[in-house]
Amino acid sequence: MTVAADGGPARNWAGNHTYARGSFSAPADLEELRRVVAGADRIRVLGTGHSFNDGVDTPGTQVSLRHLDHVSVDAAAGTALVGGGARYVDALPAIHAAGWALPNTGSLPHISVAGAVSTGTHGSGTGNRIAASAVAALTVVLPDGDLLTVRRGEPGFEGMVVGLGAKGVVAELELALVPTFDVVQDIHPGLPWERLLADPLAVMATGYSVSVFTRWVDEPGGTVGDVVVKHRTDDRRPAEEVEALLGRPQPGEAPSAMLGASEHLTPRGTPGPWFTRLPHFPPDGDPSFGDEDQSEWFVPLEHAVGAVAALRAAVDAAPAVFAEAMAVSELRTIAADDIWLSGSAGRASLAFHFTWRNVAARMDAVRAVEQALAPFTPRAHWGKTFTRPVDLGLWEHTEDWIAQRRALDPDGRFANGYLERLGLL
Ligand SMILES: Cc1cc2nc3c(=O)[nH]c(=O)nc-3n(C[C@H](O)[C@H](O)[C@H](O)COP(=O)(O)OP(=O)(O)OC[C@H]3O[C@@H](n4cnc5c(N)ncnc54)[C@H](O)[C@@H]3O)c2cc1C
């Protein structure tokens, strides 16, 4: 990480975005945070910096909550309290040790819980909702430094969770937990393209959490790439059913042709606690590729067949651009939820993720994907790279979200160019 003259990080984790800010602050505790917020003209929170756009930029103060990283688990209640700067890697082992779990995780535990919740971060699984769905309550610091706690069931809660940093500084989250469980994951490299094109949702239903990693070209034998299937050990589909669709899994110790070396990935082929298998990348290694950019779009499940075919055709039409720009792509499913600006608000989704190499051609590839998915009402991931104006009409509660933002922050202290460009001020 390159440190800027003001003591904060100069760039995001991927290194593709240089932060624009007036000053940087990392308060030691909640009281100092409240003073910093109340004293700032404009302010935005920096989480762990794993997003890919200017969402954290501000002409005023960029504030890090890295010292507010407390985690406590109430084993009797099945809830966890996490500070606004706590990362999943800080929270997950403690949650498991108390006999509990989160239903799902994103692909890496390095990110902050509040940052992940704020942008609608998700994992995979036809029955699994986004990370913000596990939030039972959140406490924010308002522009005047006052604290506001909103619990699920109270008015406006659904607008606060995926708040894009615009609804106050999230100082603490209460997470609702489920009993702990074990997971075993396998990589199936033998899925033929015609089977994915014919019925993508059958592929996505082969496990608790399924990710199809592909470069959208024929791999040897006309196969798609690597299908990563994560099964709960207490509730898994019979192996013969899964293999009839996906082919046999490769040995657990084998590297992934799509994601690289074994030590870069969480263990395959052996069961283990949920938090050691649901993320693709372990906490002690470098996740993903590094010098990269990412994009993702959410399409309703009923468009799965059309959207997968359209994407494959788009890559076939511009093979040189995609070969240069794409490191890998990942298909995931997400259950519908009631969170106002969730990518899956009101509709179960198939998510099309792309990890791009940090080359100029990636923007041509982004535009080609946006064009290919346009007929299928795509919603962009708030934390990643997109070029088309977001169609805010695709969310039922956009106007409610904006009205809530104006009520909580009438002077626009949490406003920035990102929110303005999106039309969310
Ligand atoms: C290698 C890699 C893998 C990824 N995998 C996934 C994945 O599996 N699924 C997925 O959906 N996404 C994924 N992402 C994207 C990532 O989860 C999101 O961008 C997430 O928001 C990053 O969290 P962060 O703490 O780094 O947030 P930041 O990038 O620091 O901030 C993101 C937004 O959250 C706001 N914010 C952060 N903390 C607070 C707070 N305490 N209060 C108010 N606002 C706050 C910021 O102001 C900003 O608007 C991945 C990213 C990388 C780099």
User: Cα 286–288–291 angle (5° rounding)?
Assistant: 90
Q: Which two tokens stand for residue 308?
A: 């997968």
Which of 17, 24, 30, 45 is the pocket-test mutation for ligand 1 (most atoms within 8 Å of CB)? 45
* Ligand 1 atom, smallest distance to 45 CA: 47
CB-based contact 216:206 (threshold 8 Å): no
CB-based contact 158:338 (threshold 8 Å): yes
ipTM, two decimals, is: 0.99
Which of 112, 149, 167, 334 is the pocket-test mutation for ligand 1 (most atoms within 8 Å of CB)? 112
Is the Cβ atom of 45 under 6 angstroms away from ligand 1? yes
Is the Cβ atom of 84 under 6 angstroms away from ligand 1? yes
* Class of residue 148 by CB neighbours under 10 A (exposed 0-12, middle 13-18, buried 19+): middle
Rounded CA-CA distance 207/221 in Å is 24
Rounded CA-CA distance 104/298 in Å is 18
Q: How far is CA 83 from CA 30, 300, 344, in A?
A: 10, 33, 26
- The pLDDT assigned to 289 comes to 83
Q: How far is the CA of 42 from the centre of ligand 1 (A)?
A: 20
Q: Quote the distance between the C-alpha of residue 304 and its chain's center.
A: 20
Q: How far is the CA of 135 from the centre of ligand 1 (A)?
A: 16
Domain 182-380, CATH number (from 3.40.50.300, 3.40.190.10, 2.30.30.30, 3.30.70.2520): 3.30.70.2520
Rounded CA-CA distance 85/69 in Å is 5
Instruction: Please give the chain's pLDDT, 425 residues, in tens.
Output: 789 999 999 999 999 999 999 999 999 999 999 999 999 999 999 999 999 999 999 999 999 999 999 999 999 999 999 999 999 999 999 999 999 999 999 999 999 999 999 999 999 999 999 999 999 999 999 999 999 999 999 999 999 999 999 999 999 999 999 999 999 999 999 999 999 999 999 999 999 999 999 999 999 999 999 999 999 999 999 999 999 999 999 999 999 999 987 778 999 999 999 999 999 999 988 888 888 999 999 999 999 999 999 999 999 999 999 999 999 999 999 999 999 999 999 999 999 999 999 999 999 999 999 999 999 999 999 999 999 989 999 999 999 999 999 999 999 999 999 999 999 99
User: Hey, where are the domains in the chain?
Assistant: 182-380
CB-based contact 26:69 (threshold 8 Å): no
Nearest to 123 by CA among 219, 207, 181, 226: 207
- Structure confidence by residue, pLDDT tens digits, 336-381: 999 999 999 999 999 999 999 999 999 999 999 999 999 999 999 9
Strand 326-334 versus strand 209-219 pairing type: antiparallel
Is the Cβ atom of 125 under 6 angstroms away from ligand 1? no
Q: How far is the CA of 46 from the centre of ligand 1 (A)?
A: 9
- The pLDDT assigned to 58 comes to 98
Rounded CA-CA distance 173/72 in Å is 11
Beta strands in 177-291 (DSSP E): 178-179, 182-188, 209-219, 223-232, 272-273
For 63, the 3-state DSSP assignment is strand
- The pLDDT assigned to 291 comes to 87
Q: How far is the CA of 167 from the centre of ligand 1 (A)?
A: 16
For 350, the 3-state DSSP assignment is strand
- The pLDDT assigned to 23 comes to 97
Rounded CA-CA distance 256/253 in Å is 9
Q: How far is CA 169 from CA 83, 106, 140, 148, 406, in A?
A: 11, 22, 5, 10, 15
Is the Cβ atom of 385 under 6 angstroms away from ligand 1? no
Is the Cβ atom of 288 under 6 angstroms away from ligand 1? yes
* Ligand 1 atom, smallest distance to 279 CA: 8
CB-based contact 330:225 (threshold 8 Å): no
- Which residue has a Cα nearest atom 51 of ligand 1? 50
- The pLDDT assigned to 356 comes to 97
Rounded CA-CA distance 270/284 in Å is 19
Paired residues of 173 in beta bridges? 82, 138
Dihedral pair phi/psi, residue 62, rounded to 5°: -100, 125
What is the chain's percent helix, strand, coil content, to nearest 5? 30, 30, 40
244-260 burial code (b ≥16 CB/10 A, e <16): ebbbebbeeeebbbbbe
Q: How far is the CA of 257 from the centre of ligand 1 (A)?
A: 27
Q: What is the DSSP string of 126-167?
A: TT---GGGGEEEEEEE-TTS-EEEEETTSTTHHHHSS-TT-S
Q: How far is the CA of 382 from the centre of ligand 1 (A)?
A: 9
Q: How far is the CA of 89 from the centre of ligand 1 (A)?
A: 14
Is the Cβ atom of 47 under 6 angstroms away from ligand 1? yes
Nearest to 297 by CA among 191, 393, 371: 371
Q: How far is CA 107 from CA 54, 275, 282, in A?
A: 22, 11, 9
Q: How far is the CA of 111 from the centre of ligand 1 (A)?
A: 6
Q: How far is CA 319 from CA 326, 364, 365, in A?
A: 10, 12, 10
- Which residue has a Cα nearest atom 11 of ligand 1? 121
Residues composing the chain: 425
- Structure confidence by residue, pLDDT tens digits, 384-417: 999 998 999 999 999 999 999 999 999 999 999 9
